Every structure is written in structure tokens, then in C-alpha cells.
Copies of this chain bind each other. A is one copy, B any other.
């Protein structure tokens, strides 16, 4: 895979350079969909209701993924790897839903997830003018930052009060626009179906971001209201025909983060500082978690979802960094930037925008100087422990909730309170040995990054070694007990001040330094950047028009593309695979991990129609966070389920191209076929096919 990337990236980008625009590019806002392109290129011009229906059938998993309603009875389809953390939290010693899979034959068998919150986007309101109005030219960065935070908190709280919906103001175009998103919230989420991880993630890390693929990466939940399956108005119908070659399809999901509008100086920061530091952290975590897993089966089970997510990020970032290190990518970005800057320079209306790029370049210096301390203290990497996370939340909740809404840290805004409590009081399992391994390792790393002589580090260690101190903190803390957390939360500042819990004391000890470095980044980096990107956005709209899309923000977007084969190392890779290919690949690898098929799949092979399409690719523009997004056809029917991109798509973080980059999906035919033949889940298969519970 590494080889393929090395060999094709140059070619890929060579292909990008001349055109600069790609027909199927874009993670479009639902309030600014790509109507023009769809009409012109595909002759497709659906009514507004088509968009509304797809929007309201789409579901966000707050743990970081996408999903969709696929029956009137609140059935939600997503990826196995999106459901992984829920599966992990429902498992325990001797009960492993991750490894063995799960199927609830009846409603009574459906198991409530520990702390899964799902959101459905109901409405978008453009509040750009309101937000921008509070920032005056004469304000210092800190004042501007606080004014903007204040007005956003107010808009959110007012909206929640008015509508009862979770309300978040989303920053788009890195600060060019602000939209208010209103979400319906579901917190009674129950597990219905999951295959074995080994078939969901067949090929493991080796095949991750690769194609052809053979993964049944699906998982089904059901949302409940008042103890009963929620009746949902909007859900997606199921296509029996699946995705045909060259067919136009749509992806509705929540891409997490892209850096496509970044200036060259920001990309250089990411290449030289940001990504290398992330890679250092991920490599370290991956080794630590692999070592922990190696201690035995139960250890492996405890670390599974964390290890998956770390290895997955590592592979994605590795591909992204390779893109940044490719001079062809940088040349492309430089050319784009120069073109825009030249246009701005000759446009008197945009005179005040001309300094934006230099401002952004300048703030990379304080960013580079503070990012490591920020990550350790405010990001919490120095204290990799669930109990520290809880302590941090409790300590800050006591401070923040005592303040007026507009003055709080954004994550303690009134509109976030409900979700925060839901998570804080979750009964997710906490494993003492796992906590210890994580905290010892991370406190050792804190010494390496901040230095043992750092005054705060000295106070944190209290004269002990990192390992000894970590053990002392964990042994002394009672925060694993939800009742203790509730009492501290409800007791507010007084209870926190009186607490002798060592984890609470630690969270208090580091809080001032953590807030300080956060403020440096907010005031010296984020705020000037926002104002500068606002200028760039204005310039772009003026020069290139508004038929465009902002970088991904983990909010709902619409992408589109065709189900198209691609060429790799001179070889055509067909757009789809079948179950037959799965068995062949396992055979080619002597059924050895990571290419081993679960026993049930070997026993029941004869029952399965091996010609059934299994996975397929399309050119729709996606990124991490899109996992679990439905793929629908023109009729809005589910033809697939996004779960990955190929290795050539890893540069989509910075630049999209459909020459060879592809997103990867499970086909709509594969899921019911496997449910019936392998899992005896006929009722579920029928529910998705008919849109109603059987």
C-alpha cells in the first residue's frame, strides 16, 4: 500500500494540476446544495423536498460518525467501527460483542447503549451578520474573541429555549460564515445488530484504506422515545438493485475536518510541526496499546476500540503527511493561492483583504511555540485517563456553570449542558489496569515533552516518579463511582473546593496553566486567523462566486459522485467486489489473520449467494466522520453504506481529485443477504427492505 501511494501520488497530482476543478468535488451545505452542477452535469434537479427528506433521514453519532434512519421505527444504520465504542462499552469480561457480534431477535433483546447520543439536523439559520456585528475593528484579539464567544453562546441558548432543540453555531469557511444548526437529540439508543469485528474489518490494518475490499462494516441501532421505538417521519427506503456502474449517487453525512481552504503557510505548519507531533503521539499510543493488548485476551478486549481508533488515525495521518510532503501538492496550493492573491491585488473592493495571508503566516509562530504545551495540558495528553477527563469536567463545570452563559468556555455553554451531563454520568466501564497503563505512559510523556524541570510538572509529580505518581492518583480516586461524580457535580464550587480526591486535586492543579495556554492559542492564533479567513472567504466569494462549499466541520453535508472503476499501477480496479472475492482472499492468505473469516461464515458459506455485490467505490467527496453515511440513488434509496476511502483518497484532506481517489461502501445487497444466510436475522433484513419493523 505504501508502495502504491508512493508511486501514484505524483501521477495523481500531476493529473490535478492542469484542471484545478473537479466535477464531483464538494462537501456541500444543505442550505447551499450543488444544484447547478447536478443539473448541468447530471441533468438531475430534484425538488427541495428531496433534500429535506435526505437531511432529516441523516443521523450524527456524537462519538464521531454518521448514520441514517432506515425504517419508520427508528432503525439507524451505521458502520461497525462507528458502533465500536458502544459495543465495547456493552461488553465485559467473558462477553464480547465486538468479537462475537450481536443480534436482537426481539425488541426486548435490544440493549441500551451506555452513553450514545444521536443528533438529527432539523434546521439551519444563517447568523453570520449577528455574529460578525459584535466584533469591532478597534477590538484587541482577546476582546474580539470573547465578544464572538458571547454572542454565539447567546444565540445558542436563545434558540434552545425557543425550540427545545440542541443548538450550535457552526463556524464555516474558517470564520467566513456562521450558521446556527438545530438538532433533535436522541439519547435512548439501543443495539440491534452487529456482525463479528473480523468480518466488519476483514483485512485489518493492512487493508484499511485499501481497495478492493471485503468488509461488512455495518451496525444497526434503534432510537427510542419514552421507552418505545421512535416513530420517525423521515427514513430512507432500501434499494434492492444496489449501485450500478457509473450511476450517480449521493452521500449524506458528517465529514469531520478538512484543510482545503488553508493557506500555504498553514499547510507548511501542518507539514513541519502539526502532523509530525500528531504522528509522534499516535506511534507512542499504538505501541503502548499493542503492548497492553499483548498481556492476554481480556487486556486485548479492553483496549480494542482505542487501539482501532489510534491505528486508523495513524494510517490516515500518515497518508495525509505524505501528501503534505509531496512537492506537487504544495506547488498546486501555491498556484491556487497566487491566483487568488493576484486577483485580490487588482480589485479595489477587496483592498482590505490583501493582508490576510500574511496575518495567517504570522500566527503560525506562536502556534508552533505553544502547540505541544497546549496538547499536553489543555488537550489532556499528559493525563490519558478517563478519570482525569471526569475530574477535569467536574472542576471546570463548577467554575463555568457559575458564570453567565456568555462568559463560559464554549463547551460549557447552556446548549451543551445536557449532552455534557449525559456523558459525565455514563456508566461506561473503567478498567483500573488499563487506566494505569495509559496514565503512567502519558505522565512519562509529559516529562519528555514539557521537561522534568518544568515547575508545573514538578508540582504534578510531587517528588515521585511518573509511574509511582500515576498509581497513587488512580488508587486514591473515587471518580469511577457515578454517584461520587453526581455529588461533586451537584455540589458545585463548594464541593470541588472541599474534595480531597487526588484526581480532582490534579485537575485543579493544572487548570490555570491549561487555561493560560488555551487563551494564548485562542487570542494569538485562532482569533487573528478567523478574521483573516473571513477576508479570504469574502475575496473568494467575490472572485469565484458562492457556488462553493466550506471545509468540513463535523456537520451535515451532501456529496455526490459516480460509481466508477479506477486505474492503479496500470491495472483497472473494478468498481465492486462480491462475497466470492472475500472467500478467495481468505484462501490466498491461508485464512490467517488479518485475512481470516469468522467460523460462522465458513460453516454457512453454502447458504450465501456468492455473486452478491459486497463493497463498491464511488467518487463522492468524503473524509473521516463520513463513516456510516448512507449512499443513495436519485430516488433517495439506500444503495450503500460508506465506510472508508482508498489510499489515494488520503490527500483529500488538502485537495480533492477523482482521478483515482474513491470512497468505499458496503452494498445494499450485501447486508440483507448476510443477515439471512449467516445471522438468521431475517426480521431485520425484512425491516430494512420494507421500511417497517416486522
Contact = CB atoms under 8 A, between A and B. Distances in A.
A451 interface: yes
Interface in A225-279: 271-272, 276, 279
A587 to B, nearest CB: 13
Interface string A317-355: 000011001111000000000000000000000000000
Interface in A1-40: 1-3, 5-7, 9-10
Contact of A297 (B5, B328, B590): B590
Contacts of A284: 279-280, 283
Interface SS, A side: helix
A524 to B, nearest CB: 23
A589 interface: yes
Interface stretch (A128-136, A181-189, A467-475): A467-475
A326 B465 contact: yes
Residue among A279, A453, A461 with max Cβ neighbours from chain B (10 Å): A279
A467 to B, nearest CB: 3
A464 B6 CA distance: 10
B468 A294 contact: no
Contact of A314 (B205, B287, B328, B464): B287
B204 A294 contact: yes
Given A9-B467, A9-B468, A325-B466, A436 B589 contact: no
Contacts of A461: 327
A94 interface: no
B471 A6 contact: yes
Contact of A3 (B326, B471, B589): B471
Copies of this protein in the complex: 2
A570 interface: no
Interface string A490-525: 000000000000000000000000000000000000
A448 interface: yes
A447 interface: yes
A447 B468 CA distance: 37
Given A283-B284, A322-B465, A6 B440 contact: yes
A592 B294 CA distance: 10
Contacts of A402: none
Given A327-B463, A464-B10, A464-B327, A444 B3 contact: no
A437 B2 contact: yes
A484 B314 CA distance: 39
B206 A325 contact: no
Contact of A322 (B286, B467, B595): B467
A468 B6 contact: yes
A594 interface: yes
B436 A325 contact: no
Contacts of A600: none
Interface string A425-446: 0000000010011001100100
Contacts of A272: 448, 451-453
B468 A7 contact: yes
Given A6-B468, A10-B464, A296-B595, 14 more contacts: A3-B437, A6-B470, A9-B468, A206-B291, A206-B294, A272-B448, A272-B451, A279-B284, A283-B284, A283-B286, A287-B314, A294-B594, A322-B467, A325-B465
Interface of A: 1-3, 5-7, 9-10, 204-206, 271-272, 276, 279-280, 283-284, 286-287, 290-291, 294-297, 314-315, 321-322, 325-328, 433, 436-437, 440-441, 444, 447-448, 451-453, 461, 463-468, 470-471, 589-590, 592, 594-595
10 smallest CB-CB distances across A and B, nearest first, come from A6-B467, A326-B465, A276-B448, A283-B283, A206-B294, A283-B287, A206-B295, A283-B284, A6-B471, A286-B287
18 contacts: A3-B433, A3-B437, A6-B467, A6-B468, A7-B467, A7-B468, A9-B467, A9-B468, A10-B465, A206-B296, A271-B447, A272-B451, A272-B452, A279-B284, A287-B314, A290-B290, A297-B589, A328-B465
